[in-house]
Amino acid sequence: MKKLILVLIVLTSISLAGCGGVQPAAPATPTAAPAQPIGPLGNIIAEGKVVPIKSAALGMPTTGIVAEVLVKEGDRVDAGALLVRLTAGQQQAAVAQAQAALKRAQAARQKLDEPVDQNLIIAARADLANAQAAVQQAQAAYDRAGGASNPQVGMLPTTLALEQATNNYNAAKARLDNLIKPPSAADIAAADAGIAAAQADLERAQAVLADTELRAPFAGTIATIDTKVGEAVTAGAPIVQLADFSAWKVETTDLTEINIVNVQVGDAATLSFDAIPDLDLGGKVTNIEPFGTDHQGDVVYKVTVTPDKMDDRLRWNMTAKVTIEPKQ
């Protein structure tokens, strides 16, 4: 019996040990892993469009009727070349009138600087002498008629003759004075002011006439023309597309605000093209527009990438894949 009790005690001790009588050791607290160094940013991929290095949609400065279209699509033009002209009869007449007024003002000013013809002075002095003699004769006749003491003198022909002779004398004297006296500072200032006013009028008239002409702001190729002779055009409405196809650039269309913060001018980029699978071009970011626009619910920023070299197969508005490699 004692042996049986001893066996039961031993078995009970073993069972208690197997049921966790002994507490397990607490797990060790993990230590924080050391911070990893920040590596280079990942490449940024965006979609873009091929565009000319320079382009402009041109419209007339004023509303009117097209009189001439002097170019056609595909023409190469120099800066300042005349592209389209509106009817401008009134504007041309205004310019002609202003030009004539300026010439008159310039002639009047030049006359002040010219030496007086001595023959004119001699003739003016002779006229004055004759006028003075006529006054003396008329005065003598007036006096013989009683002069101011005659109550009827105002009705006599001698009185009218004296008045006419006196007026002729004053006019002759004024003509001689104008010939022999030098121009005054006031005369010169007035003549100069007249020229300045006439010049300003001419420039205004020429500016109005210039608004009836559309000229190329830079050298390039006529890409499209959307008007013809006889058509009415509205001021500012694009009628000519001008582009410089000597070089190309790629502008992104979907680069969002999330990625733009990692892009800088000067970042390297790679360009590939859907239409030219075998063409990959290197390039650099040359411009980042500071103002974002809404595009399908996202704020996007236009980034310009200039290729390192050009390819004759590139065309306006071709789709491009732009891979930008941000700097560290």
**Mean pLDDT within 174-187:** 85
Q: Which pLDDT belongs to residue 153?
A: 62
The most confident of the ranges 11-25, 65-79, 159-173 is 65-79
Residue 255 has pLDDT above 50, yes or no: yes
Rounded-to-integer distance, Cα 280 and Cα 92, Å: 55
Pick the closest to residue 250 from 274, 285, 221, 220 (CA basis): 285
Residue 39 has pLDDT above 70, yes or no: no
CATH classification code of 55-86+211-243 = 2.40.50.100
**Chain segment 24-35, per-residue pLDDT in tens:** 444 444 444 333
DSSP at 181:
S
Residue ranges of alpha helices (H) inside 181-222 are 185-210
**Mean pLDDT within 142-151:** 76
Report, at the CATH architecture level, how domain 44-54+244-325 is classified: Beta Barrel (2.40)
| Helix, coil or strand: residue 294 | strand
Stronger pLDDT, 211 or 177, i.e. the higher one? 211
Residue 116 has pLDDT above 90, yes or no: no
Stronger pLDDT, 238 or 149, i.e. the higher one? 238
DSSP at 280:
E
**Mean pLDDT within 121-144:** 88
**Mean pLDDT within 159-163:** 84
How far lies 294's CA from each of 288, 298, 301, 302, 305, in Å? 16, 6, 9, 11, 21
Structure confidence at residue 327 as a pLDDT band (50, 70, 90):
confident
Residue 11 has pLDDT above 90, yes or no: no
Residue 87 has pLDDT above 50, yes or no: yes
Any idea of the CA torsion for 31, 37, 40, 46, to the nearest 10 degrees?
30
Structure confidence at residue 109 as a pLDDT band (50, 70, 90):
very high
Residue 230 has pLDDT above 90, yes or no: yes
Average pLDDT for the chain: 86
**Chain segment 281-303, per-residue pLDDT in tens:** 999 999 999 999 998 888 999 99
Q: Which pLDDT belongs to residue 161?
A: 85
**Mean pLDDT within 92-98:** 97
How far lies 134's CA from each of 76, 131, 148, 271, 327, in Å? 78, 5, 19, 101, 104
pTM: 0.64
**Mean pLDDT within 139-160:** 76
Q: Which pLDDT belongs to residue 154?
A: 65
Rounded-to-integer distance, Cα 150 and Cα 144, Å: 10
Q: Which pLDDT belongs to residue 234?
A: 97
**Mean pLDDT within 113-130:** 86
Segments making up each domain of the chain, as ranges: 44-54+244-325, 55-86+211-243, 97-207
